[in-house]
Amino acid sequence: MTTYAKFSHSLLTFLFISLLFFTFCSKRPDQPEQVIIAQVADRAISLDEFIKRSEYTIRPPYARGDHYIHKKIVLNSIIAEKLMAIEGGEDNELAARPEFQRYIQGRREQAMRKWLFHNEGTKKIKLSDAQVANAYRWAGRTYDVAYFTVATKDQADSVSALFNDPSVSFADVFSDIGGEGELPTREVKWQREGSDAIMDALYSDSLRIGQVIGPVKVEENVYTAIKILGWTESVAISEEQIRLRLNDVKERLARTNALKIYTEFVQDVMRGKEVEFDERTFYKVVDIVKPFYVISEEDKRATLNAQFWQEEDTTRINYEAMANDFEDIKDWPMLTIEGETWTVERLRNEIGRHPLVFRNRNLTDQNFAKNFMLAVVDLIRDTYLTEEAYKRGYDKVNVIEQYTNMFRDQALALYHQQDYLRSQGCELNFNKDYMKIIDDYLNSYVDSLQAKYSDRIFIDTDILENVELTRIDMFVLEKNVPYPTAVPNFPILTTDNRLDYGQLMQKQD
């Protein structure tokens, strides 16, 4: 007789939902307007893509400035990526791989869920003047804090009890719970992306130096205690400073309020749905996947502290190797929901396009099974949200297409670049010798592609001249999503700073 471990809808109801969302400006809800800076055959390069490929990842030294010459190099690089993707085509080994196809589908569906968040969360918020004014009052503060993090509710309760004893210092409590070395400290700014629970605790009321906050529940099994060491106050004086701060305050408030509204929407979607895991299969799968996720004690300590600030865990999982280990049990029943049975193979394919996201990244041998179960439940939730997004036709929304094509073209271009360099007998290591490879091989090849496709390339130089880029290196990661990298790496393909090809884009009346 088959036994089941049964988990009720309550697990689905209280899921931690922390989806970053794209901010799209749109006159028509389902098809937002886009500003196109260049057209390369059937590939459009939006101003949004140009800026994000410049600002959300690290540019090489030859394109890192904010001068017009650097903007031309950036645009030429993105155009070169599109040209190589077109030249290489999709009739190749990479494009034929099921793993690649699932990856691109997963990228598309992640963007669709963000668009769903936009429509069911962001668009429905209404901020009051009082909310904005109260948040604006404290937004100029930069706090210096000491902090530590514990992993269980029992530990958090013990810490709270210790804080009630005035003879016990914050540092003493840190030592009592097994803290090693110096008490961690850091600076906290309103503008910094972090836990909304922590930001609410620090920026919703007046605090005093020496005040202890928490432990605050950041997420499941992550509790953080904070001591205020001091702060500096930055006063917005000029009209521009006031405008920027006000916009920043509204943006954070909008996000947190949108999340609350969207959580209610998700609960409605998942209401009445019950997941049943086959116990034998579940623990067999746990044994297979656990080595891919449970990390060393040293890495766990770093990850636990990072969870307070919601920094991205950059651990990379070899999903292909994991999938191979499933082969002998692929037909076993893994779970049932709404009368439908998911086999292990179904789960494997779902993970292939939706890598698991663990709410608690402090994974151990002891807690892994529970956290794996919750990650699978989160994946199931996202399949229902994705289904809802497909019903609404979000896969056809232009910004979704743009996002998907950005990652597809980057991968196809990289594959073609490697194929071209092999055909030229290049044996140099790209990571070490990329400048020599560009000078000796890629610049001339990109020039030839510019000439070949020149009559199919259109560029809006007015937009290019007016766009502003920073000189700040950033690498933007999204939090609590299957694919955290916000944009592909900068295309290191050419140092060409001339626009001596293509045609001027015609202005629309």
DSSP string covering 166-180: TTS-HHHHHHHTT--
Task: Give the strands of the sheet with 185-189, arranged side by side.
Answer: 185-189, 141-150, 222-233, 212-219
Tokens read off for 11: 């697990």
Residue appearing with tokens 């070395």: 181
- Cα separation, 169 vs 149, in Å, equals 16
User: Which residue segment(s) compose the domain that 191 sits in?
Assistant: 141-234
Asked whether residue 84 is domain-assigned, the answer is yes
Tokens read off for 262: 């969207």
Of 325, 351, 352, the residue nearest 100 (C-alpha): 352
Residue 249 near residue 135, CB atoms below 8 Å: yes
Q: Is it the case that residue 393 has pLDDT exceeding 70? A: yes
Tokens read off for 283: 């623990």
Q: Are residues 403 and 499 in the same domain?
A: yes
Q: Is it the case that residue 309 has pLDDT exceeding 70? A: no
Residue 399 near residue 34, CB atoms below 8 Å: yes
Asked whether residue 182 is domain-assigned, the answer is yes
- How much is the average pLDDT of 413-424? 95
Strand, coil or helix: 381 = helix
Residue 21 near residue 114, CB atoms below 8 Å: yes
Q: Are residues 493 and 402 in the same domain?
A: yes
Strand, coil or helix: 145 = strand
- How much is the average pLDDT of 401-425? 95
Task: Give the strands of the sheet with 43-46, arranged side by side.
Answer: 43-46, 36-40, 457-459, 503-504
Asked whether residue 161 is domain-assigned, the answer is yes
Q: Which of 234, 265, 286 corresponds to the end of one domain?
A: 234
Q: Is it the case that residue 337 has pLDDT exceeding 50? A: yes
Task: Compute the 3-state secondary structure of the chain and give helix, strand, coil in percent, each to the nearest 5.
Answer: 55, 15, 35
Asked whether residue 285 is domain-assigned, the answer is no
Asked whether residue 261 is domain-assigned, the answer is no
Instruction: Please give the C-alpha separations between residue 199 and each of 106, 196, 202, 259, 434, in angstroms, as whole numbers.
Output: 31, 5, 5, 15, 42
Per-residue pLDDT band at 139 (split at 50, 70, 90): confident
- Cα separation, 347 vs 23, in Å, equals 32
Strand, coil or helix: 113 = helix
What are the pLDDT digits (tens) for 262-297? 999 999 999 999 999 999 999 999 999 898 888 655
Please, what is the Cα angle at 131 between 129 and 137, to 5 degrees?
A: 100
Q: Which of 204, 234, 264 corresponds to the end of one domain?
A: 234
Q: What is the CATH number of the domain that holds 175?
A: 3.10.50
Tokens read off for 240: 């521009």
Asked whether residue 40 is domain-assigned, the answer is yes
Of 338, 339, 343, 348, the residue nearest 379 (C-alpha): 348
Q: Are residues 221 and 149 in the same domain?
A: yes
Q: Are residues 145 and 50 in the same domain?
A: no
Q: Is it the case that residue 104 has pLDDT exceeding 90? A: yes
Asked whether residue 156 is domain-assigned, the answer is yes
- Cα separation, 342 vs 274, in Å, equals 13
Residue 196 near residue 135, CB atoms below 8 Å: no
Of 35, 171, 7, 13, the residue nearest 467 (C-alpha): 35
Asked whether residue 500 is domain-assigned, the answer is yes
What are the pLDDT digits (tens) for 475-509? 778 888 999 999 999 999 999 999 999 999 876 65
Report DSSP state, residue 91. Answer: -
Spell out the alpha helix ranges (H) of 179-318. 196-203, 239-270, 279-293, 297-309
Q: Are residues 400 and 500 in the same domain?
A: yes
pLDDT at 256: 82
Q: Are residues 68 and 145 in the same domain?
A: no
Contacts of residue 420, Cβ cutoff 8 Å, sequence gap at least 6:
84, 441, 445
Tokens read off for 341: 């049975």
Beta strands in 137-221 (DSSP E): 141-150, 185-189, 212-219
pLDDT at 136: 76
- Cα separation, 251 vs 263, in Å, equals 18
Q: Is it the case that residue 22 has pLDDT exceeding 60? A: no
Residue 386 near residue 175, CB atoms below 8 Å: no
Q: Is it the case that residue 302 has pLDDT exceeding 60? A: no
Residue 225 near residue 145, CB atoms below 8 Å: no
- How much is the average pLDDT of 221-240? 82
pLDDT at 26: 37
Number of alpha carbons in the 13 Å side-chain half-sphere of residue 7: 20
Q: Which of 234, 260, 280 corresponds to the end of one domain?
A: 234
Residue appearing with tokens 């997420």: 219
Domain count, the chain: 2
